[in-house]
Amino acid sequence: MLANAAEVREGLLYVLGGGIEQLLVGEVPAEVAPTVVVIVDLDDGELGRPFTPHLRVESDAGDVLVDVDMPPAVPEPQVPDAGASHRFPMVFTVGMRVLAQGPHLLTVSVDGTDLAQAAFAVRLAGQPS
């Protein structure tokens, strides 16, 4: 999900203005920096093991706007609960230069496996959608 702002504190996720589907800009190209919120379900064996999320943003025209490894994430070990999954929230602010209006796709992956995707559109402010 894209949001205006978010933070994780003591295992709790706080989101302000979540669920953004459009980024309004005054002109293109434009610099934007949405907040990306991802919650990953982990098994007991994955807790305490660091992993590196990879973030990619691509326009509908095929322009790659972001293709970068994010800082390593380390889910805190917890009391094992056989068969249970544990939710691990992550928050990233991603600066990018959008080149054109239209659909875009943000993908978060780890080791080549997609974890989450968020579709959004870039629109010029004051123009109909």
Q: DSSP alpha helices (H): ranges in the chain?
A: none
Domain range annotation of the chain: 2-124
Amino acid at 5: A
Residues 6+ apart with CB under 8 A from 83: none
Q: What is the CATH number of domain 2-124?
A: 2.60.40.2550
Q: pTM for the complete prediction?
A: 0.87
3-state helix, strand, coil in the chain (%, to 5): 0, 60, 40
CA atoms of 27 and 85, how far apart (whole Å):
44
pLDDT digits (tens, 9 = 90+) for 2-27: 999 999 998 899 999 999 999 999 99
pLDDT digits (tens, 9 = 90+) for 80-113: 566 667 889 999 999 999 999 999 999 999 999 9
Q: Where does residue 83 rank: exposed (0-12), middle (13-18), buried (19+ CB within 10 A)?
A: exposed
pLDDT of residue 47: 84
Residue pLDDT, tens place only, 34-82 = 999 999 988 888 888 899 999 999 999 999 999 999 999 988 876 656 6
